[in-house]
Amino acid sequence: MAVKAYVQELQMEMRRVTWPSRKQVRATTVVVIATVFAFAAYFFVVDSVISNLIGRLFKALSRQT
């Protein structure tokens, strides 16, 4: 009986849902993909800079020994 009540409540809730239009979904998808690429580029640059600095630091410290 609990499963039947759950399914009925679920159906009622799903009727209340406001679904986005295809245009809205496409627009937000483009924004998400662009943001992911922007963050990937940012982290690539930051990682490269930090890696280069650490490499130089290790190289400088190993020369002193």
Query: Could you give the CA distance from residue 53 to residue 47 in angstroms, rounded to a whole number?
Result: 10
Phi-psi region of 34 (alpha: psi -120 to 50; beta: other; left: phi over 0): alpha
Res 65 pLDDT > 80: no
Q: pLDDT (tens digit, 9 = 90+) per residue, 1-38?
A: 899 999 999 999 999 999 999 999 999 999 999 999 99
Query: Could you give the CA distance from residue 21 to residue 11 in angstroms, rounded to a whole number?
Result: 21
Residue ranges covered by each domain of the chain: 2-64
What pLDDT, on the 0 to 100 scale, is given for residue 1?
Answer: 82
Query: Could you give the CA distance from residue 54 to residue 51 in angstroms, rounded to a whole number?
Result: 5
